[in-house]
Amino acid sequence: MIRVLIVDDHPVVREGLRGMLEADPGIGVAGEAGSGEEAVARARELTPDVILMDLRMPGGDGVSAIAGILADRPESRVIVLTTYETDQDIVRAVEAGAAGYLLKDTARADLIAAVFGAARGETVLSPSVATRLVTRMRAPVAESLSKRETEVLALVARGLTNGEIGRSLFISEATVKTHLLRIFGKLGVSDRTAAVTTALSRGLL
């Protein structure tokens, strides 16, 4: 019997997942949690084999919960189950130690198979998530931003003008423009908004 902990801040979602999982005789729901902090405590208390983890919750997000759970019990297998599939979310979850990443529109049969697969030590990914990871791995490595370029772009993200950025960093406005041109070139963008958006999606800010 595979013991599962369901972590989601919506009771109706937890109830639906419990019904789907318990319909399989090889799976038992050990418990539920409605926040990241509660998930860490419940995982310590219940020692489940597999944890289904939502990503965005009040009281500590899913990525922090994954790290906390695995710090206590490295043998735990955490499957992210979320509606979000941005590159940043996926990479953060995988780096925290998630054994899988599924979307909430996953079919019941695929969810059950993923729970069994994770319990066997396999990595389980939704097809679209696997595609995004492979594409990201194959993409040429972007030049990293220098410390000063990161400082400039962080101030751009706060809405400061070139003049305000220059005064904040004690550099001329012309130097700010030069840094921005280099940032645009490295990120492959042509304006400030795209630079900030791209940097955030790549985890550079």
Q: Across residues 126-140, what is the average pLDDT?
A: 76
What is this structure's pTM?
A: 0.68
* Tokens representing residue 83 in the block: 């509606």
Provide the pLDDT confidence category of residue 140 given band limits of 50, 70 and 90. low
Interval 114-126: pLDDT, tens? 999 999 999 999 9
Interval 20-52: pLDDT, tens? 999 999 999 999 999 999 999 999 999 999 999
Interval 144-194: pLDDT, tens? 789 999 999 999 999 999 999 999 999 999 999 999 999 998 888 889 999
CB burial readout 105-141, b (16+ within 10 A) else e: ebeeeebbebbebbbeeeebbbeebeebbeeeeeeee
Q: Identify the pLDDT of residue 143.
A: 62
Whole-angstrom distance between the N-terminal and C-terminal Cα of the chain? 43
What does pLDDT average to over the chain? 91
